[in-house]
A = this chain, B = another copy of it.
């Protein structure tokens, strides 16, 4: 049994890690921390986790594996000593996602707390980066929006069927904003309403651009184009789930119709346990509570565009589930361990 710790279990991602680990056959949650609630039983902070007999500490204790669900900056600070001590970790914060510390400083408004560790970090979108994840001891879990967008776009980009004019229009449930209070997340304000935000540039944009750029087929294009990505997140009145609708121009002769696009996507994701290419537009409810991503590529023949719709549960495949999938890969466990239960529907 792998002894697992969660640093800052008090937010939604931390709680979701604890929920999922409860069913994990080879890992056991043995230590949780959370400063504001240190000293309290986990069952008091989260009644749905009453089956655990754990008390929150100021710090986590001795573990074989650690997840950090701290906010950015605080996360890198807390993880640095563990990484240096050789403890394998997955960081759910943004601290190790951007490879360039300048870019990090630009988007997150502070100096990176541990730039020397950036080179050790693997970007933890397991499906697209499995080898790096397996051999790393510091994995940066993707942001929830990048997770949904990159899984939607990767086959088209890597197979070279689309040009660089990419638009990503994402719709997220409100739990993505976390457990910290705010007027925009006050029930009476968020309910029965939809709004766009981050129009001036959301922090997940550089992450998407970085990963899409790295995907662009180098062989075919001598000077690979810098993708021109517009990303617009929206808040919609539901708790869990992200749907991303991604638009990109089809290169001439690439694919003729949706069936061909789905064929190409199916081939790309063959054998992947958590990504399913579906023949009709998916609903986010179909993946609620599960680590599955449904992807539905279509072709708008009138305009010669690829339109891809993907859905995930932002707290599972977009956070805690992806993190456990990464842990499994890092530790050589079955990648689906602890992540096999179907979605909770309806």
Contact = CB atoms under 8 A, between A and B. Distances in A.
List the number of copies, as a whole number.
Answer: 4
Interface stretch (A138-146, A154-162, A193-201, A212-220): A193-201
Interface stretch (A32-40, A68-76, A302-310): A302-310
B175 A188 contact: yes
A318 interface: no
B240 A237 contact: no
A197 to B, nearest CB: 6
Interface residues of A, number: 84
A174 interface: yes
Nearest to A15: B345
A342 B15 CA distance: 11
Nearest to A178: B188
A232 B307 contact: yes
A174 B199 contact: no
Interface in A141-189: 165, 167, 169, 171, 173-175, 177, 179, 181-183, 185-189
A192 B239 contact: yes
Interface stretch (A41-49, A53-61, A83-91, A101-109): A41-49
A191 B189 CA distance: 12
Interface of A: 12, 15, 18-19, 22-23, 46-51, 165, 167, 169, 171, 173-175, 177, 179, 181-183, 185-197, 199-201, 228-230, 232, 234, 236-241, 243, 245, 247, 258, 276, 278, 281-290, 294, 296, 298, 300, 302-303, 305, 307, 309, 311, 340-346
